[in-house]
Amino acid sequence: MLNDDYTPMEFVVVVIQEYFSKDLETATQIMLKIHLDGKGVCGIYTKDVAATKVDQVLEAALKAGHPLKCISEPVE
C-alpha cells in the first residue's frame, strides 16, 4: 500500500484489517510503516489473490472518496 497525504490513517487501518485479516495492533503497525516509509507490505499472496485484494482496496477507497493506492509486486 502506498502513502498519500489525504487518506485518513484510521481508514487505512480499517482497510488493512478488513482485506488483509490483520488485528488492530498489526494493522496500525503496517499503517505507520506506510506513513513513515511511503509504502508498506500488507501481506504476501499468490498473484491472483494479490490482484483481487488490490482491486478490493482500490474499490473501497474510491467508494469512500479517498485516493489510497494499493499495488502488488512480485517477491524476489
How far lies 24's CA from each of 11, 42, 48, 52, in Å? Answer: 12, 13, 26, 22
Q: Which domains does the chain have, with CATH numbers?
A: 9-64 (3.30.1390.10)
Q: Rounded to two decimals, what is the model's pTM? A: 0.94
Vertex 3 angle, CA 2 and 8, to 5°? 125
pLDDT at 76: 79
Q: Are 31 and 3 in contact (CB under 8 A)?
A: no
How far lies 73's CA from each of 41, 67, 76, in Å? Answer: 10, 19, 9
Helices 47-64, 9-20: inter-axial angle, 10-degree rounding: 140
Q: What is the mean pLDDT of each run of 10 residues along the chain (76 residues)?
A: 97 98 98 98 97 98 98 92
